[in-house]
Structure 1
Amino acid sequence: MVQEYSSADLELHKTKEDCWMAIHGKVYDVTKFLIEHPGGEEVMLEVAGMDATDAFEDIGHSKAAREQLKKYEIGDYKSDGDAPKKKSKLGASADSDGGSGGITKILVPVLVMAVIAFLVQKFM
């Protein structure tokens, strides 16, 4: 039988030493993954102890990231209906596979380099 967890259960696990989150109805203990996360542990701790589905989807994680997530699954999430979902406001992670944040990760550095090259050429 699969273990079910409520939002109250999740709320107890939101620290660097004990980090759980729910994504698409599944609960994950991602404590051991925090230091490996390409976007940094702070991004994950921001959504720790809650339903992080919206934040996970807003980032645009790759298929590989979704597959990797499966090894941290510990049970099912039983939503209370009033549990807050955390929306991300941090942009795309390094796992992006071309979502809306993916193009920004490419264009911003290119534009910055173009401006720097222009300024160097003009003033040197």
Structure 2
Amino acid sequence: MELMVVTLIIGFLFSLLFIAPRFSKSDQTEKVHSDANTKTVRAYNKAEVLLHNKRTDCWIIIKEKVYDVTSYVEEHPGGDAILVHAGDDSTEGFFGPQHATRVFDMIEDFYIGDLEK
């Protein structure tokens, strides 16, 4: 299981280097707050994120931030491994030592909001 998770994360991050990410925001009623830059940010609770757990609607959580990676699922070099944590927290695998630092900036292209505390 750990090998599969590591493979998923490595593939996800590797492919982010080569693909221009696209994302869409949910049409749900928004709960918003402002961050330090006064940018309006949507807040999601864990139950909302969990609903987005399939190939055609895939969100992940990394360090209490929510990312819609739906547009990336079919392009993921690790295949369906990206779906292992669909709708759930992917923090542990994402921050493994095997990742190039520029990938951490690229994930922000999929950012859609924060996890409610």
TM-score by length of 1: 0.57
* Cross-structure match for 2:88: 50
Name the one with the larger strand percent: 2
CA RMSD of aligned residues (A): 1.6
The superposition leaves residues 16-46 of structure 1 with CA deviations (integer Å, 9 ceiling, x where unpaired) of 0000011012100000111222322x22100
Residue 30 (structure 1) aligns with = 69
Q: Spell out the pairing of 1:1-124 with structure 2 (5 A cutoff).
A: 1-40=40-79, 42-58=80-96, 60-79=98-117
Unaligned runs of 5+ in 2: 1-39
* Closer/same/farther in 2, CA of residues 59 and 5 from structure 1, 3 Å limit: farther
Shift, 1:57, TM fit: 1.9
Identity score, percent: 38
Q: Distance in 2 between matches of 1:63 and 1:38?
A: 19
Higher relative contact order (CA 8 A, sep 6+): 2
Evaluate the alpha carbon distance shift between residue 43 and residue 72 of structure 1 in structure 2; reply closer, same or farther with a 3 A threshold. same
If each structure's helix is expressed as a fraction of its own residues, which one has the higher value? 1
Cα deviation per residue 1:57-111 (whole Å; 9 max; x = unaligned)? Answer: 23732223222211100000125xxxxxxxxxxxxxxxxxxxxxxxxxxxxxxxx
User: In structure 1, what is the Cα distance between the partners aligned to 2:98 and 2:77?
Assistant: 13
Structure 1 runs not aligned, ≥5 long: 80-124
Give 1 or 2 for the bigger CA radius of gyration.
1
